[in-house]
Structure formats: structure tokens, C-alpha cells
Amino acid sequence: MTLEQQIQRLADEAELRNAEARLAQFSDEADPEVYADCYTEDGVWDGGKEFGVHKGREEILASIKQRRATGSSGPGTHKRHVIINSLIDLDGDRAVVRSYLMFYADCDKAPRALTSGVYTDHFRRTPKGWKVEYRTIERA
């Protein structure tokens, strides 16, 4: 691998780690539209039996709005998604990022873990940066 390729790989990995952080923080704090924009137009959010499968950015947007409406996540809920131990597998303009997930409640006082799991995110490089094509969530 040339020095230029190594530098590009490091830059891509940094961008992908930031993309993972944006997903977590935007899920907790940003407008739903900002979160949904982290996905490709044809992106898929697969939350399994508990949360269902949402295909396309519009369904993903509707699903986060629903979670906000029920108070299961979002501003004012004092809940936080924490992403750790991300492994990145790069292949040109595509990447798979597998990360551990911890979801906490009561972050305004004595945080307590609600659940843990694994995100597997399939990313595609777009003119607007790395976007999620397919996300799966598995409970640990």
C-alpha cells in the first residue's frame, strides 16, 4: 500500500468513525430530518423484531419521529446511545462498520444501562460523504 493509499484509508476511517458518532448523537439530540439524512435515499434501518425494518429515508424519518413521540429516545428523554469498539472494513467506496452499542437512561442524574447490542452499518461513499445503506441492530 502506498503512502497516499494509507493516508486515504486513515481519512476514510476517521470519517466513518465520525459518521457513527453522528448517528448516535443525532438520534439523541438532532432534528429527525438531520438523523434521517445520515442514510442513503434507499437506506434500510433494520431494528429486528422489536423495532421493525424501515426502508428508504422517508420510512426511517417516520420511525425516528415515532420513537420521539413515544419518548423512547430523543431530546428531553435523558437517554443516550453510546457507540464503542468500532471495527471498520473498507472496500473502496463501501465500508462495513461493526460497533458495540450501549443505551442509557437517566443521564441527567444516575445513568443506568437499558440495553446493549451491536450495530452493523453498511456505508456507501456519496458526494455528500459516507451514508448508511443498511443498518442492523442486534441485541447482545
Domain ranges of the chain: 3-139
Q: What is the pLDDT of residue 4?
A: 96
Tell me what percent of the chain is helix, strand and coil, each rounded to the nearest 5. Answer: 35, 45, 20
Architecture of domain 3-139: Roll (3.10)
- Beta strand 112-126 pairing with 94-105: antiparallel
Q: What is the pLDDT of residues 42-90, one digit of tens each?
A: 999 999 998 899 999 999 999 999 999 999 999 999 999 999 999 999 9
- Beta strand 39-46 pairing with 112-126: unpaired
Q: What is the pLDDT of residue 140?
A: 80
Q: What is the pLDDT of residue 50?
A: 87
Q: What is the pLDDT of residue 18?
A: 97
